[in-house]
Amino acid sequence: MSEPQVIAVKKMWVFLFLLCVYAFCSADQYRQRAEKLMKETPLIDGHNDLPWQLLLRYHNQLSKVDLNKLNETQTNIPKLRTGLVGGQFWSAYTPCDTQYKDAVRQTLEQIDVIHRMCQMYPETFQCVSSTKEINESFKNGKVASLIGVEGGHSIDSNMATLRVFYQLGVRYMTLTHSCNTPWADNWLVDTGDDPVQSNGLSTYGKKIIHEMNRLGMIIDLAHTSMKTMNDVLQISKAPVIFSHSSAYALCNSRRNVPDEILKTVVRNPTINSCFTSFLIRYY
């Protein structure tokens, strides 16, 4: 190798070294900034299936598991602390095959295990049901624990059950899971794997939306059909969420949200103004 070539190689290695140093420093800068923001403002995760894992693995017997040492799941207390999670919506989920059977009872058992988590680990979790309580929990260095019911089949088409769930701390409900309810169509309708049943929301389904608005329970459109999404966006007087959905343009699964729905959210003056108010209130 000639001397000019040796010099060129040395320069290339110096350049690569400096590039790596710059990239490392930049990444470290962004991490520090992110950590600062998360220590000042609670990061609230919209969906976590740990309660379902506790049912599958331990039959909800919390005495048989230590959440500080649990390694078989994606969530444990050290991971929540490392991730600086300020608030967590725990999912109270029961499968679609419980519909028309014991869905209400099984959902109540999942709500119960979430409350017992807060009681067993009071130094880490605080069950909350309001903005004020979220802020208090965050100031005290705890994970504000909220409840979301995953699947409208959990209320057995009963308004009283919906209201009781709210009284027990449920603050959002996913309208469908992977099955139709008697009042709302799920995402499998869009794939042709489930038949159209309500063509979006039925008349009773619209009454459920109004009642959720009245209670202050957030409407979650994850898992719903496009027609259900559109129907809700037409009538809801409060912001909606997609608790664990991506954009369809980024990941073309029918469980994700197409651009036309996202644009409808932006165009809807009621929803959009509510979102603005929400952002000002929380951020």
Bridge-partner residues for 116, per DSSP? none
Cβ neighbours of 86 (radius 10 Å): 22
Strand partners, 126: 144
pLDDT of residue 9 exceeding 90: no
pLDDT for the residue 21: 55
For 84-104, write each residue's pLDDT tens digit.
Answer: 999 999 999 999 999 999 999
Out of 23-27, 73-77, 121-125, least confident range? 23-27
Answer left, alpha or beta for residue 156, where phi above 0 means left and psi between -120 and 50 means alpha.
left
| Contact assessment for residue 99 and residue 179, using Cβ atoms and an 8 Å cutoff | yes
pLDDT reported for residue 28: 77
Residue bearing the bigger pLDDT, 239 or 208: 208
CA-nearest of 233, 254, 93, 241 to 189 is: 254
Residues 71-75, mean pLDDT to the nearest whole number: 95
Reply yes or no on whether the pLDDT at 1 is more than 90.
no
Q: Say how far apart CA 144 and CA 127 lie, in whole Å.
A: 6
Report the pLDDT value the prediction gives residue 266, as an integer from 0 to 100. Answer: 79
Q: Indicate whether 277 pLDDT > 60.
A: no
Distance CA 125, CA 122 (A): 5
Given pLDDT bands bounded at 50, 70 and 90, which one contains residue 3? Answer: low
Given pLDDT bands bounded at 50, 70 and 90, which one contains residue 31? confident
| Percent of the chain surpassing pLDDT 90 | 76
Domain 42-282 falls in which CATH fold? TIM Barrel (3.20.20)
Dump pLDDT digits (tens) for 148-191. Answer: 999 999 999 999 999 999 999 999 999 999 999 999 999 999 99
Model pTM score: 0.85
Model pLDDT, residue 254: 87
* Separation in Å, CA 105 to CA 75, 154, 193, 223: 25, 9, 28, 22
Query: Does 4 have pLDDT greater than 60?
Result: no
Distance of CA 11 to the CA centre of its chain: 49
**What average pLDDT score do residues 116-145 get?**
97
Distance CA 80, CA 92 (A): 19
pLDDT band, residue 271 (cuts 50/70/90): low
d(CA 245, CA 181): 20
Residue 282 to residue 42: CA distance in whole angstroms: 9
pLDDT bracket for residue 16 (50, 70, 90): low
pLDDT of residue 34: 87
State residue 265's pLDDT score: 84
Average pLDDT for the chain: 89
Using the predicted structure, report yes or no on whether residue 123 has a pLDDT greater than 50.
yes
